[in-house]
């Protein structure tokens, strides 16, 4: 039987306890960036609209989604539109950033893309990071990435900080928000005339196996690659990772059938050695489920061999919005039990920050 999910009012300092043993890591998906960035369904509709227009694209994708996964439909869109890899990537970029560009003024958009592509907290002054936060709060104040970044900034450089961040997004919004909150936290200790570059980097952006990493930074793994930020300066494009993008079914299936890949090695290493907190993911990704099932099966086998196994065991957690139906809750809990994942149930997404703080004993 699956472990019963934990309610917000019953949360204890689970992650704080983990920092004394294995440590913990964060794994995020597209849900943390909605509605600033579109979810997979909306993204596929927009791609289809380039072929059949609106409103036909909405009805078409609604029907096709009953039979095919979104990555298969992205593959179909690539074929229908007849674009090469570079042009299709540019189309993905335009559709991914469309909602943000439409809401921001021209000057805000230029500033936003400049900040988002910088990746380093030291590239901007504290007042510039505050301006970035003001833009996000004004237009996208309800995104989950905001409270997540704020909590990470609070525990940065303490023993409560995550040992790694795994991202299945192809955009760096959470990176920028972490930088902004770290800058805000330490701004009072800086000189009023502080220059750019005084603040050190918080995260190491890891997009390849050979990406540089330093011991005093949080490694931030873009497991599905990193799309370039539109109209960003050329000097800031070194971190982009078009060759590692996993959007289409062809790329996805190649990843599934490869005995070694950068993505699988990173994910398996982190999930087998750390307690991972999943936020904004559906846990329906077949690769992710396969890797988690391998890790959990090995864990259970080793516990049995040591006579330490006493029933259901979980090492990872998944924050999710509680469904109305009790039966649906039970089925969701059972659907990830064999992956070693336990549910953390919240009433609404605005409780993510509170949940994180409780788990960290703050």
- Claim to verify: residue 11 and residue 45 sit in the same structural domain: no
- Claim to verify: residue 149 and residue 219 sit in the same structural domain: yes
The domain in which residue 91 lies consists of 41-96
- Claim to verify: residue 60 and residue 19 sit in the same structural domain: no
Q: Specify the pLDDT at position 212.
A: 62
Is residue 338 helix, strand or coil? coil
**Residues whose CB is less than 8 angstroms from the CB of residue 219 and which lie 6 or more positions away in sequence, other chains included:** 164, 165, 203, 204, 206, 213
- Residue 233 contacts residue 114 (beta carbons within 8 Å): yes
- Claim to verify: residue 255 and residue 345 sit in the same structural domain: yes
**202 inside domain:** yes
- Claim to verify: residue 85 and residue 120 sit in the same structural domain: no
- Claim to verify: residue 146 and residue 260 sit in the same structural domain: yes
- Claim to verify: residue 84 and residue 117 sit in the same structural domain: no
Mean pLDDT for 252-262 is 52
- Claim to verify: residue 148 and residue 46 sit in the same structural domain: no
What's the structural domain count of the chain? 2
pTM of the full structure: 0.89
Q: Which of 55, 71, 96 corresponds to the end of one domain?
A: 96
Q: Specify the pLDDT at position 360.
A: 97
What are the backbone dihedrals phi and psi of residue 350, each rounded to the nearest 5 degrees, phi first? -70, 0
- Residue 291 contacts residue 268 (beta carbons within 8 Å): yes
Edge-to-edge strand ranges of the sheet holding 203-206: 6-7, 341-346, 316-321, 275-279, 24-28, 164-167, 218-222, 203-206
Instruction: Give the ranges where 117-224 is alpha helix by DSSP (H).
Output: 126-140, 145-155, 173-186
Residue 255 has pLDDT above 60, yes or no: no
Residue 248 has pLDDT above 60, yes or no: no
Q: Specify the pLDDT at position 235.
A: 45
**1 inside domain:** no
Q: What is the pLDDT of residues 268-311, one digit of tens each?
A: 999 999 999 999 999 988 778 988 999 998 888 877 777 766 66
């Amino acid at each position: 039987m699956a472990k019963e999910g934990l309610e917000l009012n019953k949360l204890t300092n689970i992650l704080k306890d983990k920092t004394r043993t294995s440590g913990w890591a964060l794994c995020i998906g597209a849900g943390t960036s909605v509605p600033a960035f579109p979810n997979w369904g909306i993204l596929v509709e927009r791609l289809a609209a380039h072929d059949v227009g609106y409103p036909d694209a909405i009805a078409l994708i609604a029907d096709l989604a009953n039979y095919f996964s979104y990555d298969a439909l992205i593959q179909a869109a690539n074929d229908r539109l007849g674009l090469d890899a570079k042009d299709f990537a540019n189309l993905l970029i335009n559709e991914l950033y469309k909602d943000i560009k439409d809401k921001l003024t021209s000057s805000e958009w230029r500033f936003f893309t400049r900040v988002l592509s910088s990746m380093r907290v030291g590239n901007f002054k504290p007042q510039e990071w505050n301006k970035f936060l003001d833009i996000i709060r004004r237009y996208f104040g309800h995104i989950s990435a905001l409270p997540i970044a704020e909590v990470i900034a609070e525990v940065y450089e303490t023993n409560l900080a995550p040992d790694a961040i795994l991202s299945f997004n192809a955009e760096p919004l959470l990176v920028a928000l972490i930088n902004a909150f770290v800058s805000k936290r330490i701004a009072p200790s800086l000189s009023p005339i502080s220059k750019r570059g005084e603040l050190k980097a918080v995260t190491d952006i890891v997009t390849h196996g050979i990406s540089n990493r330093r011991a005093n930074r949080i490694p931030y793994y873009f497991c599905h690659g990193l799309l370039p930020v539109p109209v960003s300066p050329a000097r800031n494009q070194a971190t982009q990772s078009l060759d590692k993008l996993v959007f289409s079914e062809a790329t996805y299936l190649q990843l599934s059938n490869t005995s070694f890949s950068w993505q699988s090695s990173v994910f398996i290493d982190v999930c087998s050695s750390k307690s991972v907190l999943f936020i904004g993911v559906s846990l329906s990704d077949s690769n992710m489920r396969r890797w988690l099932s391998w890790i959990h099966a090995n864990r259970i086998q080793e516990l049995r061999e040591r006579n330490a196994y006493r029933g259901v065991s979980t090492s990872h957690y998944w924050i999710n919005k509680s469904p109305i139906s009790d039966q649906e809750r039970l089925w969701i809990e059972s659907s990830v039990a064999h992956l070693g994942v336990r549910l953390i149930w919240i009433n609404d997404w605005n409780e993510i920050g509170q949940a994180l703080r409780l788990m960290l004993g703050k």
